[in-house]
Amino acid sequence: MVEVIRARPADNEHQVVTLSGCDGRSYRRKPCPHCPWRMDQPTGRFPAQAFRHSAETAYDMSDHRFGCHMSGAKKPETCAGFILRGATHNVGVRLDLMRGRLDLDEVSSDVPLYSSYRAMAEANGVAPDDPILANCRDPD
């Protein structure tokens, strides 16, 4: 079951939805047209605070997930970009893969994605030395 852990405002127009759990249907199969993981999208569409709020999803052994900004809190889904580039060390995602609740063969991208959460956050205005990024694990 997908649960919204919290929804926090990043500014007056954007919120960050953090999720936990997976039911086998609640994840995006491709990055959305304006997905922040897409390198072909202009940076700055989402405020840097949004990336600070969601940095914990890329921490080692986190069970929190980066929610898709298009689905929001009403019909929460895990972001495809996150699954492809930011969830390598996410224990919740790894357990769902083992349990068959998440199928990586269903998730793909036709466009280049940032290589890691840190790369995406820095491209969108989070300073490289911001303490919030210190615990982000990069893919091995």
* Dihedral sign (CA 91, 70, 103, 39): negative
Which is nearest to 92 in space by CA: 121, 57, 67, 139? Answer: 57
What would the pLDDT profile of 79-91 be if each residue is shown by its tens digit? 999 999 988 888 8
Position 77 confidence tier, pLDDT thresholds 50, 70, 90: confident
User: Which pLDDT belongs to residue 6?
Assistant: 67
User: What values do phi and psi take at 46, rounded to 5?
Assistant: -110, 140
Distance of CA 49 to the CA centre of its chain: 14
| Confidence (pTM) | 0.85
Position 29 confidence tier, pLDDT thresholds 50, 70, 90: very high
Position 73 confidence tier, pLDDT thresholds 50, 70, 90: low
pLDDT exceeds cutoff 90 at 35: yes
For 7, 41, 106, 108, the CA distances from 37, given in Å and listed in that order, are: 19, 8, 18, 12
What would the pLDDT profile of 95-127 be if each residue is shown by its tens digit? 889 988 889 999 999 999 999 999 999 999 999
pLDDT exceeds cutoff 80 at 25: no
pLDDT exceeds cutoff 90 at 69: no
Position 20 confidence tier, pLDDT thresholds 50, 70, 90: low
Tell me how far apart the alpha carbons of residues 99 and 112 are, in angstroms, rounded to a whole number.
Answer: 29
What would the pLDDT profile of 38-58 be if each residue is shown by its tens digit? 999 999 889 999 999 899 999
